[in-house]
């Protein structure tokens, strides 16, 4: 892997967008990070290092921004990639889990045969907020017979308590906002 020669302050590539997607929410926009090749490469390398430490058989990522990071981590580690999607987006028989998020409710689906029984799974996403999507994804993995051995996020909004909801799973985040 081609790692940057010196650490990059990834937080300087995160843009705050007030009142998105609704009033009162301060959205952490990762598109400036994605648009800078060195910052993006650094984020992928850091996520891959953290995921590799958990010895995963497969990488699972959550729609949609999680796909950007999860697929790159899976490729970097030479592991398979499993997408977890919003309802009605997968073409084969799927399992569904509903969850609450910081500004409403939603559901996620995964193909019922996407995870081999006993597989070690690392879940990748761009953001850990309340933990609802990660908890739902973990439930989908469990229903398929896999084991979530870790989760890795680009950003953690620590003040929303998502990490506690995922305990005792090992959690890694590249940056945290208190």
Q: Which residues are catalytic?
A: 65, 102
Cβ neighbourhood burial of 43 (10 Å; 0-12, 13-18, 19+): buried
Q: φ and ψ at 18, to 5 degrees? A: -70, 150
The residues pairing with 17 across neighbouring beta strands, listed in sequence order, are 27
Q: Please provide the DSSP assignment of 45-109 as one string.
A: HHHHHHHHTT--SEEEEETTHHHHHHHHHHHHHT-EEEEEB-TT--SS-EEEEEEEETTEEEEEE
DSSP 8: -
How many other CB atoms sit within 10 Å of the CB of residue 160? 17
Would you call the peptide bond into 64 cis, given omega within 30 degrees of 0 as the criterion? yes
Q: Are 123 and 62 in contact (CB under 8 A)?
A: yes
The whole-angstrom separation of Cα 131 and Cα 128 is 6
């Amino acid at each position: 892997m081609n790692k940057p020669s010196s650490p990059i302050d990834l937080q300087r590539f995160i843009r705050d967008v007030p009142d998105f997607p609704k009033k009162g929410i301060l959205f952490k926009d990762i598109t400036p990070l994605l648009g800078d090749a060195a910052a993006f490469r650094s984020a992928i390398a850091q996520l891959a290092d953290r995921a590799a430490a958990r010895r995963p058989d497969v990488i699972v990522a959550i729609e949609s921004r999680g796909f950007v990071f999860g697929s790159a981590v899976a490729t970097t580690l030479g592991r398979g990639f499993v997408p977890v999607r919003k309802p009605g987006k997968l073409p084969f028989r799927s399992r569904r889990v509903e969850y609450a998020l910081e500004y409403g409710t939603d559901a996620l689906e995964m193909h019922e045969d996407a995870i081999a029984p006993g597989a070690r799974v690392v879940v990748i996403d761009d953001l850990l907020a309340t933990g609802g999507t990660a908890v739902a994804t973990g439930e989908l993995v469990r229903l398929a017979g896999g084991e979530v051995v870790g989760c890795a996020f680009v950003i953690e909004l620590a003040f929303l308590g998502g990490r506690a909801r995922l305990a005792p799973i090992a959690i890694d985040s590249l940056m945290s906002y208190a």
